[in-house]
Amino acid sequence: MLAAIWCKACSAGRITRWWTPRSPGGVTKLPPGMPITRALSTLGLTGLTAYFGLLDVGRVVEGETVVVSGAAGATGSVVGQIARIKRCRVIGIAGGAEKCAWLLREARFTGAIDYKSEDVRTRLRELCPNGIDVYFDNVGGPILDAALAELAFRGRVVLCGAISSYGAAELPRGPRNYMNLIIQRGRMEGFVIIDYAKRFGEAVKDLSAWVAAEQIKDHVDVQEGLENAPKALRRLFAGENRGKQLLKIADP
């Protein structure tokens, strides 16, 4: 049995009903051959979040420049891969050289920025000389601020999460560069994935086809033992997870 590690901002969501909103009692029988890890990752709530956040809220168009933070994580890695499938230039922001190397080599992003060792604003200017058309934000804080400053004309900022602030004793001050939304006639919009429940089927259909065609790679990190649940949850905040954080409780 596997459990998805569910973070603070998602606590309003109900992972048991991901496959179809009409599943009786919230229990879903997986199709034959479907790995449970995939059902909880690329085809699970984080994959669905990536899909609707990028395509519906971000309204990405072929040829645009997409930047995603938390890029090597469960949601971010799928966002970037969908953007690549939609023929966009995609730049991922992640913590550490190893994660950035994975983005370039395995997820085939156009570029990667290691926010722990590089100046994000400088690198965004280098990698997005015409500005950012869609910024998919998983982290908030100074990275959101840097992206706002580099927004292109009619750029969109998709507010998915703000993990940099979840543990903060005091809420941080708002982004300084939000006025660039005015100058660039931009749009910043938040969303919560459960609002798309009635449309999950259409996303699962597309995501399944992309996985089957090896255009999207599952990226999962399975820890073991119910007693390790708190430790597994903390991995998200320390950036120790490599893709979707799952916890194996017992064999099926």
Ligand X SMILES: NC(=O)c1ccc[n+]([C@@H]2O[C@H](COP(=O)([O-])OP(=O)(O)OC[C@H]3O[C@@H](n4cnc5c(N)ncnc54)[C@H](OP(=O)(O)O)[C@@H]3O)[C@@H](O)[C@H]2O)c1
Residues that bind ligand X (CB under 6 A): 7, 9-10, 46, 49, 70, 72-76, 94-96, 99, 138-139, 160-164, 191-193, 236-237, 239, 241, 245
The residue (of 46 and 110) whose beta carbon lies closer to ligand X is 46
Q: Which residue spans within the chain are E strands per DSSP? A: 2-4, 65-69, 89-94, 111-114, 132-137, 151-159, 187-190, 220-224, 244-248
- Closest CB to ligand X among residues 95, 175: 95
User: Whose Cβ is closer to ligand X: residue 49's or residue 180's?
Assistant: 49
CB of 192 to ligand X, least distance (A): 4
For 170, the 3-state DSSP assignment is: coil
- Please say which residue, 184 or 229, places its beta carbon nearer to ligand X: 229
| Residue closer to ligand X (CB basis): 110 or 245 | 245
| Rounded least distance, CB 236 to ligand X, Å | 4
Smallest separation (angstroms) from ligand X to the CB of 183: 26
Cβ distance to ligand X smaller for residue 80 or 161: 161
What's the closest the beta carbon of residue 138 comes to ligand X, in angstroms? Answer: 4
User: Shortest distance, CB of residue 26 to ligand X, whole angstroms?
Assistant: 18
Count the neighbouring beta carbons within 10 Å of the beta carbon of residue 178.
Answer: 16
β-pair partners for 220: 244
Long-range contact pairs involving 159-162 (C-beta distance under 8 Å, separation at least 24): 159/188, 159/189, 159/190, 159/191, 160/49, 160/53, 160/75, 160/136, 160/190, 160/191, 161/7, 161/9, 161/70, 161/75, 161/137, 162/9, 162/137, 162/138
Least distance in Å: CB of 132 to ligand X? 17
CA distances from 79 to 73, 85, 138, 149 (A): 10, 10, 11, 21
